Structure 1
Amino acid sequence: MPTLSHTSPYPPPRRRRTATDAASSPSYQLVPHSRVVVKMAWLVATLSLIVIWLASIFKVFFGATSSSKTAVLDHGNKRNVLFVIAHPDDESMFFSPTINYLASNAYNLHMLCFSTGNADGMGSIRKDELHQACAVLRVPLQQLKVLDHPDLQDGFGQVWSHDLLAKIIGEEVGNHDIHTIITFDNYGVSGHCNHRDVHHGVLKFLQTNPERNIKAWELASLNIFRKYSGPIDIWLSILSSKRHPSKAIIVNEQPWKSYEAMAQHLSQWVWFRKLFVSFSSYTYANTLDRINPQPVNT
């Protein structure tokens, strides 16, 4: 009698995937391989960064040179230099490479600080801290002037008169026979409005007093990647000076002094400023650009 076959209307059950099948799958083998490649890439990048960082530190401590320093310093016997800043701690956070270099080469340093930094009601404390920081940086204390003018108070909402700033700068230049001024550029490194006003005050003074023949330099503001690249930015700054000979690159031969000077500002010495001083390129080098003001039409 013939055997009747029964055909099920449902497909046969799928065989469960085993560990052996998974191990033999090309896609399974690709995943761990890709992870190894990614890990190796990160390792190479990290090691490269460490090597560059160490080479940069070596450059600072054992081979520091100040590119184009003669462009900013070679004024014969004219060695009276005035730093014009906005707040106590600007000198330590931003200008310390230049201050250290000039102090080491027997320049006569003066500093004009336009406020006591009283935005949080600690003006008298911050003024004393600035004196201590200047002692570390070898700026003669009798040549430090800190203002507490009612129209020049610290704060993001405070607008400083450029005419008033120029007038005060002119008085300092005349009283101390200043030959060179060093200050912020138009952006002011951090973008603080007081920094920017100080720049415009210096510019106003130069424009209205061309006969004084004052040399003026501004501290270049860097993009955020260069700003927080620490000593690595030294190489980029030096390369930039090769393309732009008018720039002056001053490498900090004593970067620990920047840290020590900023530590004198105890009221400001919080964790993020400790990180800033450690990783900021302004601790290790300054790029200075010459200010060439256009005369004011009268």
Structure 2
Amino acid sequence: MAWILIISCLFFLWIFSLCKILIPSSSPLRNSFLKAGVHEKRNVLLVIAHPDDESMFFTPTINFLTSRGHNLHILCLSVGNADGKGDTRKRELYQACAVLKVPIQQVKTLDHPDLQDGFGELWNHSLLAKIIEDEIISHSINLIITFDNYGVSGHCNHRDVHHGVCKLIYDTSQRDVEAWELVSTNILRKYSGPVDIWFSVLGVMQHSSGRMHCLVNEHCRRSFLAMAQHKSQWVWFRKLFVALSSYTYMNTLRKIKLGACEVTAPHNYMACEIN
């Protein structure tokens, strides 16, 4: 009987949290992200490592930006060729971005020999910084969004992308470009679905300086439709991930503070202090 009560309570909490997300008027958050420039449309660059990162992790952010008219560009630093499906995955990325209302001409995918998909593939941070800087200059980018130093799943390519962005901001003249990171959570929060909104709200409330924002997904169904375009990756456990992942329902973004960065020799590892 006790287990039935616990399961019923969890089910009710899940449904209640989902309603908070799906019904804008009942949302516990009044988001102020980019509110200062309400009349100014920003040129934003989302930097990801693989095709499907945008659909698995960043759809709340993408939906937030596109629905408010910001000019979003996506830079994917590999074609995800670990299983020899690079060409297929590249096409799937463009299809997913079409679902997410990102113009195809604003999506760029690289297949650089030194930036190949794989858990054992270490990416050079100086090379990443140079590539990202070229995109910033080409599209007059003034805001970057990417992974944090754990990269949601701990994938080394995700982590390297973060450190490449840090190196760019710290080492070059692009320090006036804002850089924001997607906050990684522990495994319980990661698979708590919409319930994580309450933890996210508490986290944001502890950062009153405006350096952390929770973006609620205004089009949850679009997340599933976008990920379904990645047919080569749309296997049962990824379907479960999209359904159960808190990243489907909200993103917490944190501004990267480059107050104390350190570069070590072997792999150009950079650690950035986060506020």
C-alpha contact 1:229 1:281 (8 A) present in aligned 2: yes
Give the TM-score normalised by structure 2. 0.90
Q: Distance in 2 between matches of 1:296 and 1:130?
A: 33
Q: Is the aligned partner of 1:89 residue 2:52?
A: yes
User: Is residue 213 of structure 1 aligned with residue 169 of structure 2?
Assistant: no
Q: Distance in 1 between matches of 2:7 and 2:36?
A: 41
What residue is the counterpart of 2:256 in the other structure? 291
CA shift, 1:61, in A, is: 1.2
Distance 1:211 1:231, change over 3 A: closer
In 2 relative to 1, CA 255–282 (structure 1 residues): closer, same or farther, beyond 3 Å? same
Alignment partners' CA distance in 2, 1:282 and 1:222: 10
Amino acid at match of 1:74: A
Could you tell me which amino acid in structure 1 is paired with residue 159 of structure 2?
A: R
2:68 — aligned with what? 105
Contact 2:41 2:69 in 1 (8 A): no
For each residue in 1:138-172, what CA deviation from the matched residue of structure 2 results, as whole angstroms up to 9, or x when unmatched? 11110111000000000011110000000000000
Per the alignment, residue 127 of structure 2 pairs with 164
Matches of 1:103 and 1:71, distance apart in 2? 13
In the alignment, structure 1 residue 273 sits paired with structure 2 residue 238:
yes
1:266-297: per-residue Cα shift (whole Å, max 9, x none)? 00000000000000000000001100113779
Asked if the contact 2:41–2:71 (Cα under 8 Å) also holds between the matched residues in 1, the reply is no
Alignment partners' CA distance in 2, 1:191 and 1:228: 15
Q: Equivalent of 1:55, from 3, 13, 16?
A: 16
TM-score (norm 1): 0.83
User: What is aligned with 1:240?
Assistant: 203
The number of equivalent residue pairs is: 258
- Please say if 1:261 is aligned against 2:223: no
Give the match's secondary structure for 1:129.
helix
Q: In the alignment, residue 66 of structure 2 is paired with which amino acid?
A: A
Distance 1:92 1:65 in 2: 23
**Shift in Å at residue 60 of structure 1?**
1.4
- On the 8 A contact 1:68/1:248 being kept in 2, the answer is no
Structure-2 separation of matches of 1:190 and 1:60? 24
Quick check: 2:217–2:249 contact (8 Å CA) kept in 1? Answer: yes
What is the identity percentage for the equivalent residue pairs of Structure 1 and Structure 2? Answer: 58
Residue segments in structure 1 that go unaligned for 5+ positions in a row: 1-38
Q: Which residue of 2 aligns with 1:250?
A: 215
Residue 229 (1) aligns with residue 195 (2): no
- Residues 1:125 and 2:91 are matched in the alignment: no
More helix per residue: 1
The structure carrying a bigger strand percent of its residues is 2
SS of 2:51's equivalent?
Answer: coil
CA RMSD of aligned residues (A): 1.7
| 1:142 corresponding residue in structure 2 | 105
Residues 168 and 174 of structure 2 are in contact (CA less than 8 Å); yes or no, is this contact kept in structure 1?
Answer: no
CA distance in 1, matches of 2:161, 2:42: 22
User: Secondary structure, in 3 states, of the residue corresponding to 1:291?
Assistant: strand
Specify the SS of the correspondent of 2:46.
strand
Largest Rg, 1 or 2: 1
Judged with a 3 Å threshold, the aligned counterparts in structure 2 of structure 1 residues 59 and 148 are, in CA distance, closer, same or farther, namely: same
